[in-house]
Structure 1
Amino acid sequence: MAKPIIKIENLSASYRKNTVLHDVNFDVMSGSLTGIVGPNGAGKSTLLKTMLNLHPALAGSVSFFGLPFAKAKKRIGYVPQRGSVDWDFPTDALDVVTMGLYGQIGWLRRPGRLHKEKAYEALEKMGMADYADRQISQLSGGQQQRVFLARALVQHADIYFMDEPLAGVDATTERAIMTILKELKSIGKTVMVVHHDLQTVEDYFDHVLFLNQTVIKHGKTGHIFTKENIAKTYGGNMHWKGEVNQGVVHSFE
C-alpha cells in the first residue's frame, strides 16, 4: 500500500498568542493537485509557512517522504504570496529564476551557463522568455507571478506549495498557471495550492482541503466539495445561487 509523501499530525501554530492553527491532521499522496480553501483568517498561508519552517509550530509534526523538512527541502518548491515579495529589488527576471537553483549551485558560487539556460527554459515554459532581461519592478502582477512560478519550476522539485498563485492575475495568466500545475500532477508531482475562488475548485483540483484553523474535511473533490462542507468551513455565511446537483455546489455569490 502506498504511503503518503506529506504527513501532518496534531499541528498547531499561533501569532501573538492568538491560535491560528489547532490540531491539524492530514496526509497527502503523491501525484495529487490539492486546493486549500477557507475563509480569511482560516490559517491557510500560516499552514504552508509552518510546514516549511517559515513560521514556528506550537505543537505537532510535519514530515515529507518520512523526513523532517530540513532533510527534504531540496525536493520541495514554494511560491509565496506575491504581496510578500519586495518587487523593487534591483534584479531582472532571469536572475530571479536562477535564484531557484542556488540550492544546487551553492550561495557562494556564481551560476554558470548551464544554470542560466535552465532558468531561461523555465521562463520560456511560462511564456516569459521575452522578458528575461526586464527588471521585475517593471513587470505586471501577472508577469511577476509567472516569473515566480518559473523560479519554482526550475528546481524540478517533487512537491510544490503555492500561496494564492492566481490572486490578482489576468485570465490568460490564470489559464497558463493552471495548465502548468496540471502538467506537474500528470507527471507525478504533488502540488498544494492556497486558493480563494470556490467557483473554480471543481475544475482545477482533484483534491480539496477545507481549512478553518483546523481541517474541516480533506479528500477527493468529487466526494467532499459539497454545500454542507463549504457551509461548515465558512461558518454558514455563504449566499448560494444556481443549482446543487447530488450535493455538489456549482455556483456562488
Structure 2
Amino acid sequence: MESAILIAENVSASYRKNTVLHNVNFKVNQGTLTGIIGPNGAGKSTLIKTLLDLHPRLSGSVTFFQQPFKKAKKRIGYVPQRGSVDWDFPTNALDVVTMGLYGEIGWFKFPSRKHKEKAYEALKKVGMADYADRQISQLSGGQQQRIFLARALVQNADLYFMDEPLAGVDAQTERAIMFILQELKRNGKTVMVVHHDLQTVADYFDHVLLLNRTVIGHGKTEEIFTKENIGKTYGGNMRWLIGEEEKNVVPSYH
C-alpha cells in the first residue's frame, strides 16, 4: 500500500470572520499530478497557503513526509499566482530563478558559479535560456510564468504546489508547462495544481481534488471527475454539454 506524503486532517481557515476552508481532509500519494478544482471563492489558493503555513489554520493538522512543514520545507516547491508578484522589481530572469536556491546558498551569501549554472539549466528546461539577462518587467505573461516555473524546478523538490500556472498564458506555453509537470510526475515527483479550465482536467491530471470550502471529492480523475461531483462542487450555476458518453460531460458557465 502506498504511503501518503501529504496528509491534511480537519483543516479550517478564515479571512477575518469568514470561513474559507471547513474541515478539509485528504491524502496525497507520491508520483501523482493532481488538479485542485473549484469555483471562484472556493478556497483553492487559500488551501495551498494554509498547507504551507502562509495563512493561519483555525484548526486541523498538516504533515509532509510525516513531518510538519517547517521540517519538510526544503522538499517542497511553490509557484504562487503570477498576479501576486511585483514584476517591476529591477532584476533579471536568471536572478529570479537563482532565488529558488537560497535555501541551499544561504540568505546573506552570494550565489556561486555552480548555482548560476543550475539556474541556467532550469531556464533551458522551460525554454527561457535566451532570456536569462532580460529584465522580468520586459517579459510577457507566459514568459514570466515560465520563469516562475524554472525557479521552482531549480529547487529539485519532491512535492510542488502551483497556483494557476496556466492562467493567462498562450496555448504554446500551456502545452510546454503541462509537458514539464507531466515529466515531473514521470520522475516520481508529486505536483498539485490549482486549475480553472474544466475542459482540460481529464487530459492533464491523473488525480483531482474537488473543493468548495470543503473537499467534495478526491481521487483518480476517471472516478471523481463526474457530472454528479462537478455539480456538487459548482452548484446549480451551470449548463451541461453532454458528449457521447456520460463521462465525457463537459460543464460550462452561463
**TM-score in same-fold range (> 0.5):** yes
In 1, Cα distance between equivalents of 2:151 and 2:84: 16
Deviations 1:53-91 (A, max 9, x none): 000000000000000000000000000000000101100
Task: Name the TM-score, length of structure 1 as normaliser.
Answer: 0.98
Deviations 1:13-36 (A, max 9, x none): 000110000000000000000000
In the TM superposition, what is the alpha-carbon distance from 1:245 to its structure 2 partner?
1.4
In the TM superposition, what is the alpha-carbon distance from 1:244 to its structure 2 partner?
5.6
Residue pair 1:30, 1:189 contacting (<8 A) in 2 also: yes
Residue pair 1:225, 1:249 contacting (<8 A) in 2 also: no
Q: Which residue of 2 aligns with 1:13?
A: 13
In the TM superposition, what is the alpha-carbon distance from 1:252 to its structure 2 partner?
3.5
Q: Which residue of 2 aligns with 1:55?
A: 55
Q: Which residue of 1 aligns with 2:127?
A: 127
Q: Which residue of 2 aligns with 1:138?
A: 138
Q: 1:52 to 1:244 in 2, by over 3 A?
A: farther
| % same residue | 77
In 2, Cα distance between equivalents of 1:251 and 1:163: 22
2:68 counterpart letter in structure 1: P
Residue pair 2:242, 2:248 contacting (<8 A) in 1 also: no
In the TM superposition, what is the alpha-carbon distance from 1:237 to its structure 2 partner?
1.4
In 2, Cα distance between equivalents of 1:187 and 1:154: 15
In 1, Cα distance between equivalents of 2:224 and 2:184: 23
- 5 Å-filtered alignment, 1:108-187, equals 108-187=108-187
Q: Which residue of 1 aligns with 2:213?
A: 213
RMSD (CA atoms): 1.0
In 1, Cα distance between equivalents of 2:57 and 2:77: 20
In the TM superposition, what is the alpha-carbon distance from 1:246 to its structure 2 partner?
3.8
Question: Structure 1: any 5+ residue segments left out of the alignment?
Answer: none
In the TM superposition, what is the alpha-carbon distance from 1:96 to its structure 2 partner?
0.0
Kindly indicate whether residue 200 of structure 2 is the aligned counterpart of residue 200 of structure 1: yes
In 2, Cα distance between equivalents of 1:3 and 1:248: 31
In 2, Cα distance between equivalents of 1:123 and 1:31: 23
Secondary structure in 1 matching 2:147: helix
In the TM superposition, what is the alpha-carbon distance from 1:251 to its structure 2 partner?
5.7
In 2, Cα distance between equivalents of 1:17 and 1:250: 35
Task: Name the TM-score, length of structure 2 as normaliser.
Answer: 0.98
In the TM superposition, what is the alpha-carbon distance from 1:224 to its structure 2 partner?
1.2
Runs of 4+ in 1 over 6 A off after TM superposition: none
Secondary structure in 1 matching 2:240: coil
1:23 counterpart letter in structure 2: N
Q: Which residue of 1 aligns with 2:224?
A: 224
Secondary structure in 2 matching 1:243: coil
Question: Structure 2: any 5+ residue segments left out of the alignment?
Answer: none
Residue pair 2:241, 2:249 contacting (<8 A) in 1 also: no
Deviations 1:116-150 (A, max 9, x none): 00000000110000000000000000000000000
2:88 counterpart letter in structure 1: D
In 1, Cα distance between equivalents of 2:175 and 2:252: 21
Q: Which residue of 2 aligns with 1:23?
A: 23
Kindly indicate whether residue 39 of structure 2 is the aligned counterpart of residue 42 of structure 1: no
In the TM superposition, what is the alpha-carbon distance from 1:238 to its structure 2 partner?
1.2
Q: Which residue of 2 aligns with 1:234?
A: 234
Residue pair 1:50, 1:56 contacting (<8 A) in 2 also: yes
Residue pair 1:244, 1:250 contacting (<8 A) in 2 also: no
1:203 counterpart letter in structure 2: D
